[in-house]
């Protein structure tokens, strides 16, 4: 059993469903403290909202290379639908099954083994190495990485290069590197009408009927055309609800939950203004609440991109595709500090699914790539 596989199995055995860390971070401290990493536990929030975070750093010189990741996982769903215990790592047909194998305990294990090897091989390496680990990436993400970054910024502790271990790969490890992410703007929208009897529509105002022309125009709007790095901004309605459940009652309110995934071609304020403009155009009575959960970020070029592309070519022989597709990640909190940020991890075909798994050989390949990146930047 490889060292990376062994450590992944140990992490999987801890049922760290958001926001519970279940001792994963203590395990990392035990692995890395003997190598000269100084641990700093950061706990933010209170009660059920409390989140455990960990900042581990070796060295105090620039440049600072940081591995970032999360020990929390999403719920398993019905355990009876799994072919094996989701918190007991199980090997079948060359794959390791368990919740978090791909997202992202396998990456954390590969980080750690790569770091152990690098420090042993290059005890006098340049700069510093750090870990930023949270147990609140899969949840609200309000007491996790964002708070750690605020703490680091307040004491002028700057990350130069950050590698996030999110599962970025599509078919083979390293075929895709995420060098940015779109922004995410959500809204909760209520269209106000007047409840009444369906037989007397002139005495009521049906918010569904009133909103229909507005929604048709809203969903047909082209927000931008994207650019060389980002696809066009998209808009989706993810929830819509109205009515009392009775067939003879006109509802008094229509509630919608919507989301924009936006490029760098448009600002959140521009998106908000356009939605308000359409609401006013259709003379709707409305209430709206916005939630900006992340701005777009991009690492178009630089030492980190070059090192990652080179390392993947060295270890696997393949060329990598740079991409900004997919959802958000904690990289959105780190990039605004000026750090170069990339996401590089295992294949993502089974993340958040029943029977989540990762190829066992992927873990060792990933460890070798991480090691080579450290060599390229700090040896």
Are 161 and 337 in contact, with CB atoms under 8 Å apart? no
User: How many CA within 13 A on the CB side of residue 12?
Assistant: 29
pLDDT confidence band for 46 (50 / 70 / 90):
very high
- Closest alpha carbon to 160 in 341, 299, 301: 341
Looking at residue 60, its pLDDT comes to 95
Looking at residue 62, its pLDDT comes to 97
pLDDT at 217 over 90: yes
What are 145's two structure tokens?
């990485």
pLDDT at 49 over 90: no
What percentage of residues in the chain have a pLDDT greater than 90? 97
CB neighbour list of residue 153: distance below 8 Å, 6 or more residues apart: 337
Residues 205, 145: Cα–Cα separation, whole Å: 46
In tens, the pLDDT along 247-269 reads 999 999 999 999 999 999 999 99
- Using alpha carbons, list the distances in angstroms from residue 149 to 42, 93, 184, 189: 11, 40, 19, 32
Residues 222, 116: Cα–Cα separation, whole Å: 49
Whole-structure pTM value: 0.90
Task: Report the pLDDT averaged over residues 188-204.
Answer: 98
Looking at residue 298, its pLDDT comes to 94
pLDDT at 377 over 90: yes
pLDDT confidence band for 1 (50 / 70 / 90):
confident
CB neighbour list of residue 97: distance below 8 Å, 6 or more residues apart: 82, 83, 84, 86, 89, 90, 91, 355, 356, 357
Across all residues in the chain, what is the average pLDDT?
Answer: 97
Looking at residue 328, its pLDDT comes to 84
pLDDT confidence band for 114 (50 / 70 / 90):
very high
Task: Report the pLDDT averaged over residues 271-290.
Answer: 98
pLDDT confidence band for 327 (50 / 70 / 90):
confident
Task: Report the pLDDT averaged over residues 284-305.
Answer: 95
Residues 227, 265: Cα–Cα separation, whole Å: 7
Residues 360, 3: Cα–Cα separation, whole Å: 12
Residues 365, 371: Cα–Cα separation, whole Å: 10
Looking at residue 198, its pLDDT comes to 97
CA dihedral 160, 32, 73, 321 (to 10 degrees): 40
What are 184's two structure tokens?
């995410």
Task: Report the pLDDT averaged over residues 66-76.
Answer: 98
b/e per residue, 9-45, with b = 16+ CB within 10 A?
bbbbbbbbbbbbbbbbbebbbebbeebebebeebebb
- Closest alpha carbon to 162 in 69, 56, 43, 238: 69
pLDDT at 158 over 90: yes
Residue 135 CA, chain-centre distance (Å), reads: 12
Catalytic residue list:
72, 137
Looking at residue 13, its pLDDT comes to 98
Looking at residue 303, its pLDDT comes to 98
Which residues share a beta bridge with 128? Answer: 64
């Amino acid at each position: 059993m490889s060292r990376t596989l062994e450590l992944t199995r140990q992490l999987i055995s801890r049922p760290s469903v958001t926001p519970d860390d279940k001792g994963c971070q203590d395990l990392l401290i035990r692995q890395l403290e003997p190598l000269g990493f100084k641990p700093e536990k950061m706990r933010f929030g209170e009660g059920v909202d409390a989140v455990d975070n960990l900042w581990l750093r070796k060295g105090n010189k620039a440049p600072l290379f940081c591995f970032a990741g999360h020990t929390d996982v999403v719920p398993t769903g019905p355990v009876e639908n799994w072919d094996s215990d989701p918190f007991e790592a199980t090997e079948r047909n060359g794959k390791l099954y368990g919740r978090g194998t791909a997202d992202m305990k396998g990456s954390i294990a590969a980080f750690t083994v790569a770091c152990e090897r690098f420090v042993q091989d290059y005890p006098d390496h340049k700069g510093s190495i750090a870990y930023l680990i949270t147990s609140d990436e899969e949840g609200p993400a309000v007491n996790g990485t964002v708070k750690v970054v605020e703490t680091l910024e307040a004491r002028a502790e700057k990350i130069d290069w950050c590698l996030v271990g999110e599962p970025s790969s599509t078919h083979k490890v390293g075929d895709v590197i995420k060098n940015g992410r779109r922004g995410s703007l959500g809204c909760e929208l209520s269209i106000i009408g007047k409840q009444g009897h369906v037989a007397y529509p002139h005495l009521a105002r049906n918010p569904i009927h009133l909103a229909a022309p507005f929604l048709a125009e809203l969903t047909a709007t082209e927000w931008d055309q994207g650019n060389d790095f980002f696809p066009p901004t998209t808009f989706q309605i993810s929830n819509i609800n109205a009515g009392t459940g009775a067939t003879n009652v006109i509802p008094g309110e229509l509630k919608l939950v919507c989301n924009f995934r936006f490029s760098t071609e448009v600002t959140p304020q521009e998106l908000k203004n356009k939605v308000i403009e359409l609401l006013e155009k259709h003379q709707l009575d409305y209430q709206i609440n916005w939630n900006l959960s992340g701005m777009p970020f991009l690492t178009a070029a630089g030492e980190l991109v070059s090192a990652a592309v080179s390392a993947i070519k060295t270890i696997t022989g393949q060329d990598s595709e740079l991409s900004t597709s997919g959802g958000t990640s904690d990289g959105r909190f780190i990039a605004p500090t000026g750090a170069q940020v990339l996401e590089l991890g295992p294949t993502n075909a089974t993340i958040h699914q029943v029977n989540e798994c990762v190829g066992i050989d992927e873990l060792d390949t990933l460890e070798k790539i991480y090691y080579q990146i450290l060599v390229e930047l700090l040896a």
